[in-house]
Chains A and B, each alone.
Chain A
Amino acid sequence: MQELALLMVSDCADAQKPEFARLVRQAKAGDAAAFEAILCQFERRVLLTAMRLLNGNLEDAKDAAQQVFLRLHRSLHQLDASRHFASWLYRITVNVCRDMLRVRARRPVVPLEEAGHCAMAGGTEDAMRRDEQMRLIYAALASLPERERAAIVLRDLEGISTAEVARILGSSEVTVRSQISNGRVKIRKFIDRQQRRRL
């Protein structure tokens, strides 16, 4: 888990390196290979963030990721690689997912059986238990209001600082802190309720 967090931090740092700025310049000039390299660098983060914002639905997350990267492609000419590229991409991801949820008029709460479509490796008892836990967490996330969910996903799952989350969501730091706090308490209560129901 710690390795993943470190990986994310190094990814953020990569976005500020001169090499990344060169990739952006080349992509702006129409170099498809450079654009693909940018895509490779960020696809995992964009797709996983989208999946967490879209109730664990992998197909929706794939659609969202495609939209995000096509928006990136269209906006390349006005992109400043030296300034918060990762934050910009997260903001687009959050907006695309929000639009998808609104357009499809998803109910914020999904049944546990439908939450978390991500395939887990193997069919052992451990894997099944793990799968069930993932579904529970996705259902807990889905039960949160849109803004709280986004704040929790960015802070607790993406490991982004509260100040950066505020910048991504276009809110004040105080508001985001409150959303994170409320979200965490609600998740705990949701998990607690579900576990009591099963006993």
Chain B
Amino acid sequence: MSCDKFEPLIALYIENDLAQAEARAVESHLAGCDACREFAAEMRESQAALKALRTEFVDDAVFLQVRTEVLSAAAHGQRVVSWPRYAIAAGLVLALLGGWMWQMRPGARLESRPIAANVSAPPLPVTVPAPQARTRTRLGRVQRRRPQAAPMFKSEPLLVKVITDDPQVVIYWLVDQNGG
């Protein structure tokens, strides 16, 4: 093997990065080759110079600064992620609560109707109401034959489903379309 081929092996040999068999081969070559011995000595010198970086001094204040900024950013990141989700959910809940209180205020038309009519109405997804003329005709006929105890809706209640970022928070909003 020529000296050129030994160079990469010598570069590993000087740091004990060779397997035993390879190391032995390098050693026997070095024993008989002045140029490669010189190369190995130079390699050891440059490796010692490189490893001087291990003793490099960095002030503790630098680490403290990095730590402080990381902890601050980590804490800030948590707020950024969670704050809007809960704020939106809270806002929606407050809006719905406000709407409900507005409907329940004294003198509102809703009070004149039996509560059972609202509660028993089946929650339906947002749909286009059935054709008005046909419904009125049929309802009219039913009313003529059998008067109802509870007042009838002019149209069906509207159910609004609000999906928030949090899968555990889903808000249903039942809208009475009869002026309530």
Q: Which residues of A contact B (CB under 8 A)?
A: 1, 4-5, 32, 35-36, 39-40, 43-44, 47-48, 51-52, 58, 62, 65-66, 69-70, 73-74, 118-121, 130, 133-134, 136-138, 140-141, 152, 155-157, 162, 177-178, 180-182, 184-185, 187-188, 191-192
Contacts and interface: CB of A to CB of B under 8 A. Distances in A.
A157 B54 contact: yes
B77 interface: yes
A191 B46 contact: yes
B73 A1 contact: no
Contacts, number: 119
Interface stretch (B4-12, B114-122, B149-157, B169-177): B4-12
Interface string B1-42: 000000111011011010000000000000000000000001
Given A32-B71, A39-B71, A184-B47, A134 B8 contact: no
Given A43-B66, A47-B66, A66 B73 contact: yes
A32 B67 CA distance: 12
Contact of B53 (A52, A188, A192): A52
B62 A134 contact: no
A105 B173 CA distance: 55
A187 B63 CA distance: 29
A40 B67 contact: yes
B51 A156 contact: yes
Interface of B: 7-9, 11-12, 14-15, 17, 42-43, 45-47, 49-59, 62-63, 65-67, 69-71, 73-75, 77
Nearest to A64: B66
Classify the secondary structure of B's interface with A: helix
A73 B73 CA distance: 10
Classify the secondary structure of A's interface with B: helix
A139 B15 CA distance: 22
B58 A47 contact: yes
B51 A184 contact: no
B120 to A, nearest CB: 45
11 contacts: A1-B51, A40-B67, A44-B63, A47-B66, A66-B73, A73-B74, A118-B57, A130-B52, A137-B50, A140-B50, A181-B11
Q: Which 9 A-B pairs have the closest CB atoms?
A: A188-B46, A181-B8, A184-B11, A69-B70, A181-B11, A73-B74, A65-B66, A43-B63, A191-B46
Contacts of A43: 63, 66-67
